[in-house]
Every structure is written in structure tokens, then in C-alpha cells.
Amino acid sequence: MAPQKHRKICVMGSRAVGKSTITMQFVESHCPDSYHPTIENTYQKIIRHQGQEYSVEIIDTAGQDEYSILQKQYSIGIHGYILVYSVTSVSSLEVIKVLNDKILSSLGAETIPRVLVGNKSDLDNERNISRDQGTQLANEWECAFVECSGKNNENVEEVFKQILNEVNKGLTGPDPPQKEGCILM
């Protein structure tokens, strides 16, 4: 069997869009009992995807706004980003656009593995961002797009499958060996 691959994924977006809910649904198959703003939580899950075993490390970050500074630990050693907005909140999508720019500029890259996620798809009556708007933005960014409901556990697994696919697309050839030790900056 092919050796296990490690993937470090960062979940980002503005406050209360459902980052923790999506992450906990995926890792622990339940959602938080009540809303507690996150400072930072790291989760680990072993999954099989397309015949390969992955050890997925997921960093659930604190809610960001347009003015938040992108912390170094969210730009170094991250394989891919799950960028979450709420389909009910136009401002949460605006934050994602700013965040996307910050990530790309901090990495000095034109592209990086990302999945754009429109969460709270169950709140159809409160929807302010159409599926088409999300699809269009993801096409522009050349990244994957998923709408999901963390609360109802709809399409949550798809978010994580898509980020693994996006990371794999960006990695040609075998993964570099994983070394212990420090990184010189």
C-alpha cells in the first residue's frame, strides 16, 4: 500500500460563517452545541480518498475581517485553504476576496490549492449570494467550489475531498519527504 500522505489544511473566513461547524462535522460527525468564537483549534483525521490514505491536519482559525493580518503560521507549510463564506452574508464573501488576495500575496503565488465554500445552504430563505455567484468567483480563481450546510452535514465531506484534489493537482510527482526540524526563514 502507498505510504500515508500528510496534508495541512487551513479553514478561513469571517466570524460565524460556520468554519468550526464544518470542521467538527467532518472530523467528529457532530456540530458544536452552541456558538463559541474560535481562537484556533487543530484537528487530525485519517481518511482514505481515491485509494490513498491521508493524515489530514485541519486548522480551524479565528474569524477574520478585512483588516486582519494574515498570521505567518497560516501561510507557511499549508497545503491548501478552505475559504468559507455564508450564503446569507454578502460581507462574508467580501472578506473572502480580501483574504484570498492576502494569501496569494503573502505566498508570492498566482495560485494555491483552495476550495471556495458557500456554507449555510440550508438557509435558502435568507440567501443573499447565489450559487452562480460562487461558481463564477471560483472559476475566476481557478479553484473548486462547494455549497454545503455544516449544520445539516450536507456536502461537508465533499469540501474536504475537493481540497485534497486541489492539493494533488498542485503537486506533480511524489511528495517531498517529510522532515522533522526547523524551517529557516
Ligand X SMILES: Nc1nc2c(ncn2[C@@H]2O[C@H](COP(=O)(O)OP(=O)(O)OP(=O)(O)O)[C@@H](O)[C@H]2O)c(=O)[nH]1
Per CB under 6 A, the list member of 49, 151, 161, 169 interacting with ligand X is 151
| Stretch near ligand X under the rule CB under 6 A, chosen from 30-38, 73-81, 105-113, 176-184 | 30-38
Closest to ligand X by CB, 96 or 112 = 96
Q: Is residue 16 a contact point for ligand X (CB under 6 A)?
A: yes
Q: Indicate whether 37 belongs to the interface with ligand X (CB under 6 A).
A: yes
Helix (H) and strand (E) counts in the chain:
4, 6
Per CB under 6 A, the segment of 47-55, 73-81, 108-116, 117-125 that binds ligand X is 117-125
Sheet containing 52-61: which strands, arranged edge to edge? 40-49, 52-61, 5-13, 80-86, 114-119, 144-147
Residue of 5, 10, 12, 20 interacting with ligand X (CB under 6 A):
20
Shortest distance, CB of residue 7 to ligand X, whole angstroms? 20
Only one of the segments 10-18, 101-109, 157-165, 174-182 lies at the binding site for ligand X (rule: CB under 6 A); that segment is 10-18
User: Are 152 and 120 within 8 A, CB to CB?
Assistant: no
**Using the rule CB under 6 A, is 176 a contact of ligand X?**
no
Asked if 162 is part of the footprint of ligand X (rule: CB under 6 A), the reply reads: no
Q: Is 31 left (phi over 0), alpha (psi -120 to 50) or beta?
A: beta
Q: Does 38 bind ligand X (CB under 6 A)?
A: yes
User: Do the Cβ atoms of 122 and 95 come closer than 8 Å?
Assistant: no
Q: Which three cell numbers stand for residue 91?
A: 460581507
What is d(CA 142, CA 169) in angstroms, rounded to the nearest whole number?
12
User: 55 to each of 43, 44, 157, 172, how far by Cα in Å?
Assistant: 10, 7, 15, 19
Coil, strand or helix: which one is 96?
helix
Site string for ligand X, 40-79 (x = CB under 6 A): ----------------------xx----------------
Binding-site ranges for ligand X (CB under 6 A): 15-21, 32, 35, 37-38, 62-63, 119-120, 122-123, 149-151
